[in-house]
Amino acid sequence: MLNTLLRPASLLYGAVVARRNTRFDTGLGVVKTGLPVVSIGNLTVGGTGKTPCVQWAARGLIAKGYRPAIALRGYGSRPGQPSDEALEHREALEGVPVLASPDRVASIETIRSEHPTCDVVILDDGFQHRRVAREVDVLLVDGRRVLDSERLLPSGRLREPLVSMARATDVVVTHSEHVADRDAMNAAITSLHGRPPVAWCTHKWEALQVHSAQGVTRVPVEHLRGLKLVTRFGIAHPNGPRDQAMAAGAGVVADIPAADHAPFGQAEVQAIESAARDADAVLVTGKDWVKLARVVDLNKFGVDIIVPDLSLVFTEGEDRLLERMLHAISLEQT
C-alpha cells in the first residue's frame, strides 16, 4: 500500500534523474581530473559490497605497481569526523590516501597536490557522481535481489532506472551465491547492459578479529560455534552477518537495531554492555568497529568484541575484470 502511494513521488524522482543524466551524457559538467579514475558503485540504496570491492581493486592495482588513492563521499559522518568507510579503508589499506568529501573533484585535486606519487584514483560509490570523468565504471549488482522487482526511490531502492546500467563499462554480480536462476540474471543484465556480467563474486568471512583488554587476536570463523552473541549491525542488510554467525554455530541472545551508518553513543554502548551480561561476546561489522573503537573502553567492557574479516571471493572473472581495469588505465596514461 505504501509503495503504491509513493509511486507519484518515484515518477517525479525519475524525471529529475533522467534530466540530470541527459545533461551529463552530453559531457556538460564532466571534469577530467588529470588522473585515471576507476569508479565502483551501484544502482541501489544499501550494501552491494562496495567496500570490499574497492579494497580488492586497490590491492590489485598495488600488486601491479600502481599507487592508488580512494575518494569517497563520507556518507553518515558527523562534522569534523571521518566516515565509517573512510576509517575502514584506512585501517585495511595502510599507506593508501583516503579522502572523504561530497566534492570529489576537489578531493582529487587534493590528492594530486598532497600525494603526487598517486597515479590512479578509485571512486568509492561513484556511479552517480558523474562530475568526475572515469576510465572504468564498475557497477555492482546484488545477487540477493531480483532485478524485475526493483523500483525507483522512494517507493523502491533504485537511485536510477535500470536502463542506466548501459553506461557502466563492467557489471559485477555480488552475493552471487544467492542467485536462484543464474541464466535469468545473466540474460537480464545482458539486456540492460549490452553484455553479460564480467565477473561473479561472493562475500566470505576469512577469519575473526577478537578485541579485548589484552589486545586483538585473529581466530578462525569456527570460534563462533557455541557462543552466545549480542549483535549490532549498522549496515543496510543486517540479516546477512546475523545469518552467517548463526550458520557458523553461534546463538544470538540479543540484537541491538541500528540504522545504516549509525554512530555509537554512550547510551547505546551501555545498552550493548548490559545486554552482553548474558552473552559470551558482541559481534559487529568492520564498519561498526571503526566507530565503536573510538567510544568503548575495553578495559571496562565485560566481554570480547568480535569483528569478521570480510573479503571478496570471485567465483568467475576476477582476472578478466582486473585486466580490463589495467588496460583502461594504461590507455589514459599514454
pLDDT of the residue at 137: 98
What is the Cα–Cα distance from 36 to 259, expressed in whole angstroms?
A: 34
pLDDT of the residue at 76: 62
Give pLDDT tens digits along the chain (334 positions): 446 667 889 999 999 999 999 999 999 999 999 999 999 999 998 778 999 999 999 999 999 999 999 999 987 655 566 788 999 999 999 999 999 999 999 999 999 999 999 999 999 999 999 999 999 999 999 999 888 888 999 999 999 999 999 999 999 999 999 999 999 999 999 999 999 999 999 999 999 999 999 999 999 999 999 999 999 999 988 998 999 999 999 999 999 999 998 999 999 999 999 999 999 999 999 999 999 999 999 999 999 999 999 999 999 999 999 999 999 999 877 6
What domains does the chain contain, in order, with CATH numbers?
A: 2-198+317-333 (3.40.50.300), 204-310 (3.40.50)
Q: Is 208 helix (H, G, I), strand (E, B) or coil?
A: strand
Q: Which residues of 31-44 are buried (b: 16+ CB within 10 A; e: fewer)?
A: eebebbbbbbbbbb
Q: What is the pTM of this model?
A: 0.92
- Please count the other Cβ atoms lying within 10 Å of the Cβ belonging to residue 236: 16
Q: Is 206 helix (H, G, I), strand (E, B) or coil?
A: strand
What is the Cα–Cα distance from 190 to 206, expressed in whole angstroms?
A: 32
